[in-house]
Amino acid sequence: KNDKGKVYAILLADTVQLTDEGAKLLTNNDVSWKGIAYTLETDEVELVDKDLEVLEETSTSLREQSKQQRQKEIQKNMAEEQERREKQQQLAEQLRVRALAKLEGREDPDAISAKAAERQMVVSYKSGPSSFPHEARPGRLFVDMNRETILLPVYGMHVPLHITTLKSITKNPELGELRLNFIAPTHMQRSTTSTGAQKQLSVVEKAVKANGNRIFLREATYKCSDEHHLNHVLQQVSDLRKRVRERELLRKQSQGLVKQDKLVL
């Protein structure tokens, strides 16, 4: 210890041999003060270690953020590429159908559907109200499964609307209401201006667009205390829409088919 009571260490750097002839230095290494002395600064070393840990954590966080950003960009690019491929497939299918129609000497399907939309109107009862089903009771909803038509009571009389004109149907069990939404020119405008792949309009929708200057029924709400009747109408409408969708899908799938000649054995 020194005079102040602090503990310190001394390392002998030289080895000296004492003889009768005198002292003899046996150390051949560097004996300067800089070569034999050093100080341990423990506090500074701990601070440096902490700084290094903070730097490593910051670097790891930056790498994770960069990795997440790259993954988002990759996912976005993949989604755009998938959308582009789907669009290309749709265009290729349209070209294939047109080329097939040209080879077979038929008219372009798009032109045929456009002409059909101009002249084809869905007529459920050509003879008028006299051909309405006798089971339809005044003031009550009725679904004609044979004619695929919904008879709506309006001012004491039935108004027939074909099932293909129906956009959606919902039931509110708390209020005992049945709400029917129909295809109208406002729906057509909103659907044709939406982004993404645009679906081809059906014959009924094209007819609506071609006759947009007429008055269309957009929605109707009916209230009935007989919940069983509402459920029955809702089930009939659902079954009818399913039947029409399956038939339309089968018709679209059979458009590209070519009739094969009889085999000659």
How many H helices and E strands in the chain?
Answer: 6, 8
Burial class (CB in 10 A: 0-12, 13-18, 19+), 152: middle
**pTM confidence score:** 0.48
pLDDT digits (tens, 9 = 90+) for 194-220: 443 344 455 556 666 666 566 778 899
pLDDT at 258: 67
pLDDT digits (tens, 9 = 90+) for 142-187: 999 999 999 999 988 999 999 988 999 999 988 889 999 998 766 4
pLDDT at 51: 62
Query: Which string of b and e fits 125-136 if b means at least 16 CB within 10 Å?
Result: beeeeeebeeeb
CB atoms within 10 A of CB 251: 9
Taking the C-alpha atoms of residue 32 and residue 35, their distance in angstroms, rounded to an integer, is 5
Question: Where does the pLDDT of residue 83 fall: very low under 50, low under 70, confident under 90, or very high at 90 and above?
Answer: confident
Question: Where does the pLDDT of residue 262 fall: very low under 50, low under 70, confident under 90, or very high at 90 and above?
Answer: confident
pLDDT at 40: 60
Taking the C-alpha atoms of residue 148 and residue 240, their distance in angstroms, rounded to an integer, is 7
Task: Give the best-scoring range by mean pLDDT among 106-115, 199-208, 234-243.
Answer: 234-243
pLDDT digits (tens, 9 = 90+) for 7-16: 767 666 677 8
Q: Find the Cα–Cα–Cα–Cα dihedral 59, 60, 66, 68, rounded to 10°.
A: -160
pLDDT at 150: 95
pLDDT digits (tens, 9 = 90+) for 5-39: 677 676 666 778 888 888 887 777 776 767 666 66
pLDDT digits (tens, 9 = 90+) for 240-254: 999 989 988 888 787
Residue 67 has pLDDT above 60, yes or no: yes
Taking the C-alpha atoms of residue 248 and residue 13, their distance in angstroms, rounded to an integer, is 102
Taking the C-alpha atoms of residue 238 and residue 232, their distance in angstroms, rounded to an integer, is 10
pLDDT at 3: 66
- How much is the average pLDDT of 95-109? 71
Taking the C-alpha atoms of residue 113 and residue 70, their distance in angstroms, rounded to an integer, is 46
CA separation (Å) from 151 to 124, 131, 132, 234?
10, 12, 9, 13
Strands, sheet with 166-172, edge to edge from the N-terminal-most edge strand: 166-172, 177-182, 219-223
Q: What is the mean pLDDT of the chain?
A: 77
Percentage, residues of the chain above pLDDT 70: 66
**Do 101 and 109 touch, CB atoms closer than 8 A?**
yes
Tokens of 146: 């044979």
pLDDT at 196: 38
